A and B are shown apart, each in its own frame.
Chain A
């Protein structure tokens, strides 16, 4: 699982690098685990969040050969859901990949 989380972390960071050029400099995401992705305190607008989730979906598909549906997961968007921080999001994606692999 640790190796998987590490791979997912790399892939999420790559997705951040991909979407950042489309964000104003003040709104660009950092790689800090505490970075909020959704809700109050997040620098991402709805469009930025959609772009991030789609970028991660794409990279999971090309990196693991697996299809995960982040944008279709309402649980993701609850106030205490995994989008509350980048670290929680990485764990959530790793968990989804782990389940999809089984």
Chain B
């Protein structure tokens, strides 16, 4: 008996459609791959093409979240527009996660914004891409900024951007929970372990940090590494193992939620704000967030606990001016934004510390005063243009050790091998 044939079965005549279907399916694959995650690159071409004279539209990209941060930025830009006729600012929000990809795609399509706010450690890569205007001889006040901040915007001795603000990590603590447990904010690693354990109850964790699968985890862990006397350049060293074991220990004790592997710093702040964590490692940019989302929360900020050294990580954003037809107008806008009162307002609104030496760090707020003090021992992430790749290897080590799939030592040994050829020597 012959095999029954489905009416759809390909006869010799109908083979072509099936072939065509396979080919078109592949074609879909091709185009889909080319466009993976391709959203976010809205028309960034605000350039009029004309010289700087006449009406000009400055396209501005930032990743400030709606709320206090966005209000501060938009307020400043509106004020500039109102006082400068002929200048329109087209401010666009680009999510932090999409920013690098959007900039790269826009660069390929020659549709870049005129000003982009980018994270300090990414600045060098964009300077190397050749899209950033060289500001070295076009701005007079670079000496008012700390060396580390200028360095993050520099490449081969030329300056390709302006630091906006600086930030660093410190320890937020819930005052009521600490009082209730009868403990003080920890000052050493040993303190940290015992205090975090004492603060842990059935409905909250003692501490929250971010070990999420991106650079934020490295930013969060680096202070611990430096406190132990280690560095990313030597992850095979016992200091690095000790630092990672300390972090893993806090999690294994149950003082830190396993979910920290899925929490970015914003989610860490949400946990703290909702009282599900008694302490958190986080930065001053969470202060405006906590003020609006948890106005009744009574919290304080303490310096990070120390081990063999005191250390924290220096973070911050830079302005990048795109090397394009509107760069003069863009630089005028940035110069205006660098006036001390503008810098102070923006820093307060975005929850960061002003970097200019002529702007007082509004020390009447005790939390900000602590962050300003913490900044004294904050170190930049100056590991060269391959930092993004280095950070990814470090994240894998952190997550392997925290989840227990590898010992801290083995995980770091793997990362050390992968990272070594990427380090600028």
User: Are these two chains actual partners, yes or no?
Assistant: no
B: residues with CB less than 8 A from A are none
A: residues with CB less than 8 A from B are none
